[in-house]
Chains A and B, each alone.
Chain A
Amino acid sequence: GAGVSQSPRYKVAKRGQDVALRCDPISGHVSLFWYQQALGQGPEFLTYFQNEAQLDKSGLPSDRFFAERPEGSVSTLKIQRTQQEDSAVYLCASSLRERPRGGANVLTFGAGSRLTVL
């Protein structure tokens, strides 16, 4: 597609519920990232995939958070037994695997999924 698509855009969950957030990256983008953005803060890294391989999950805050990308395209971020502190915008981003000559690893972000846990 033309951009990174995330769904749902808004999700309200009761404390203790499980949620699943979906990300459709740009077609052909090999790398996929999940970030968490609390209100008024910068995005915080959660996890990173290259194709279907999860290369870095050091930012996942607890074992309640799980991400997968089984076929190297669409990714799902799952949060089990949601807590109020999980309320945030969850951003997905994708990038080309190879760095452009002389350039940075530029990420293209989706609009995010806003999770509110009551």
Chain B
Amino acid sequence: GESVGLHLPTLSVQEGDNSIINCAYSNSASDYFIWYKQESGKGPQFIIDIRSNMDKRQGQRVTVLLNKTVKHLSLQIAATQPGDSAVYFCAEDRSNTGKLIFGQGTTLQVKP
């Protein structure tokens, strides 16, 4: 079946280091891939998206890489800060369905 999943459930990094969160997907029909951040007790918050015909997109302190050959997506966070501690989800967006399909999530822990 179709799925969007993550390689590691928990990632622990030192404050100031770069973080890389990975995601594998199985369905190639998506138009966009989106990363969301969810802090404890809150709903998911949009971080960045990438269109399926791109391989890289940069935002403020974040970069998303898309490798369609191996169906792999990653989120890179530069100079990780304590406020980055959260669960990160990748999600698949297909324009003809209107809905997002989420992966299981990676917990990012930032050590001071």
Contacts and interface: CB of A to CB of B under 8 A. Distances in A.
Interface residues of A, number: 29
Interface in A19-58: 31, 33, 35, 40-45, 48, 50, 55-56
B95 A99 contact: yes
Interface in B62-112: 89, 93, 95, 97-105
Given A42-B103, A43-B44, A106-B49, 10 more contacts: A31-B98, A33-B100, A43-B100, A56-B99, A91-B44, A102-B51, A104-B31, A104-B51, A105-B95, A109-B45
A contacts with B: majority SS: loop
Interface in A86-100: 91, 93, 99
Interface residues of B, number: 23
A106 B98 contact: no
A27 to B, nearest CB: 18
A91 B93 contact: no
B46 A107 contact: yes
A45 B43 contact: no
A4 interface: yes
* 3 closest residue pairs by CB, A with B: A109-B43, A104-B32, A42-B102
Contacts of B43: 4, 91, 93, 109-112
Contacts of A112: 42-43
A106 B43 CA distance: 13
A109 B44 contact: yes
B34 interface: yes
Contacts of A106: 34, 46, 49
